[in-house]
Structure 1
Amino acid sequence: MTVRVLVWGENRHEQIDQHVRDLYPDGMHTTIAAGIAENLGDEARVSTTTLDEPEHGLTEQVLAGTDVLVWWGHAAHGEVADDVVDRVHRHVLSGLGLVVLHSGHWSKIFGRLMGTTCTLRWRSERDRELVWTVNPTHPIAQGVPHPIVIEQQEMYGEFFDIPAPDELIFLSTFSGGEVFRSGCTFRRGHGKIFFFSPGDQDYPVYHHRDVRRVIANGVRWAAGDRPRETPTLLRYESGDFFHGHGYTGPIDD
């Protein structure tokens, strides 16, 4: 089955910051998408969209035709419309895979799914990051070195206010001695979520071969393995153990 991947990019820094435009002349979302395509090949059909598209490019039709949504945002989280967040949230619960990158930890959709502040510690002073694999048997860790060495990167450090991950795959260390849970998975409803922190706009991290491999592995893992279906609450009659009847929730008649 071909995995239908949509890379969502905020596309703000590239428009106003020449340094970022020099690193990512076609936009960070395009660079991220290229890394997924080069690693997954015929396994995936990769497209992109941005914040400024109508409905942020995340219409009902687009989401229904997407298996995995990859999310990068930073400077304009507040501009994402709440009704679009509601829509993405519903699709994740029904089985849409979600890969959240770097500063997407503060996106509305990630916060909604985590139920916490998702706050962390940070420093942007061209640190070196070492990404250590702590779960080498996980599919997302396949084919990546131990550690991944990123010579220029923003520091993210603990405490990272997220729920305890279902799986911790990567742990990063930085020049100042900080540590960070940099690769985590979660399940919400029928959807699988992968958070991966390397990838600040000020550094060429999304050109890094091993970072691109991890993101592609995360997309492959997050792709749903069952038909898309929103969990519902149904009323069951005595003697019928298989079929719910006419009851969709405590608010609806």
Structure 2
Amino acid sequence: MRILVFNENHHERTRPEIRERYPLGIHGTLAAALGERLGPEAEIEVATQDQPEHGLGPDQLDGTDVLVWWSHLLHAEMDDDTVRRVRQRVLAGMGLVVLHSGAGSKLFTSLMGSSCDRRWRHGDDRQLVWTVKPGHPIAAGVPQPLVIEHDEMYGEPFDLPEPDELVFISWFSGGEVLRSGACYTRGAGRIFYFSPGDQECPVYHQSGVQQVIANAVRWAVPTGPVVSPFRGTSAPEGWWAA
């Protein structure tokens, strides 16, 4: 199982309080947690946006079974050719786990075919993540509810397509709700979106959140060779726009 954890890595480089919260970076924190939970069967690497080709060049992607994605402020600065390459890899069968504000990335919006805009409130909300599909493998071992004491609020309406499977719904202390854990298939690739995880809060240090992400990685692993069914085709100009 070959896992690549991508993180924009902007907040950790520019804001000391975020660096103090995530001294390994969000990518390093997630990679360490996945290493503990997935064990020796998993080979885990990290990539950040400031690397050449954002750390997502052909050599990296061709050896990846599941890509875990976190991004926020620099969506527009992602190289279009690199995003096309990642998108094609997902359509060919690579798994994708998109976290929190990664919903607004070129990659995710292009795969969803929508803006993925949602209501939000930057604050200090308490979030209860309720499992609504308890038999799903991504819900295995996750507390019911999963309580996150401090997080940013993302709420409905959420311009997200109807999920193939909805695993989690979140409730916030302001009364809002959100489809917070949703599964999709695009081409041959499995995609899971999970909303908790604002950089201002220590969400990714939390055991239950780590369990969800590890479960999602296992679920998203391709069941066969990752070979593009769309070889020789290209996306039109502006393909990422909703």
CA distance in 1, matches of 2:171, 2:213: 19
CA distance in 2, matches of 1:189, 1:43: 26
Letter in 2 for 1:176: G
Aligned CA distance change for structure 1 residues 172 and 54 (closer, same or farther; 3 Å): same
Matching residue within 38, 43, 46 for 2:44: 46
Instruction: Please give the secondary structure, in 2, of the residue aligned with 1:5.
Output: strand
Aligned to 2:134: 136
CA distance in 2, matches of 1:125, 1:118: 21
Aligned to 2:240: none
Aligned to 1:201: 199
TM-score (norm 1): 0.90
Aligned to 1:166: 164
CA distance in 2, matches of 1:145, 1:249: 44
Letter in 2 for 1:59: G
Aligned to 2:73: 75
Letter in 2 for 1:202: E
Q: Percent identity?
A: 57
Aligned to 1:117: 115
Aligned to 1:182: 180
Aligned to 1:220: 218
- Structure 1 ranges of 4+ moved more than 6 A: none
Letter in 2 for 1:169: V
Aligned to 1:106: 104
Aligned to 1:240: none
CA distance in 2, matches of 1:78, 1:117: 14
Residue 24 of structure 1 pairs with residue 26 of structure 2: no
Instruction: Please give the secondary structure, in 2, of the residue aligned with 1:75.
Output: coil
CA distance in 2, matches of 1:44, 1:19: 31
Per-residue CA deviation, residues 2-46 of structure 1 (Å, 9 max, x unaligned), is x10000000000011111111001211100111111111123111
Aligned to 2:89: 91
Letter in 2 for 1:200: D
Aligned to 1:156: 154
Aligned CA distance change for structure 1 residues 131 and 60 (closer, same or farther; 3 Å): same
Letter in 2 for 1:24: Y
User: How do residues 234-253 of structure 1 correspond to structure 2 at under 5 angstroms?
Assistant: none
List runs of 5+ in structure 1 lacking aligned partners.
234-247
CA distance in 2, matches of 1:42, 1:191: 24
CA distance in 2, matches of 1:198, 1:38: 20
Letter in 2 for 1:90: Q
Aligned to 1:191: 189
Aligned CA distance change for structure 1 residues 232 and 77 (closer, same or farther; 3 Å): closer
CA distance in 1, matches of 2:77, 2:30: 22
List runs of 5+ in structure 2 lacking aligned partners.
235-242
CA distance in 2, matches of 1:221, 1:114: 19
Corresponding pairs, count: 234
Aligned to 2:227: 229
Deviation of 1:249 after TM superposition, in Å, equals 6.8
Instruction: Please give the secondary structure, in 2, of the residue aligned with 1:159.
Output: strand
CA distance in 2, matches of 1:208, 1:69: 21
Instruction: Please give the secondary structure, in 2, of the residue aligned with 1:224.
Output: coil
Aligned CA distance change for structure 1 residues 121 and 37 (closer, same or farther; 3 Å): same
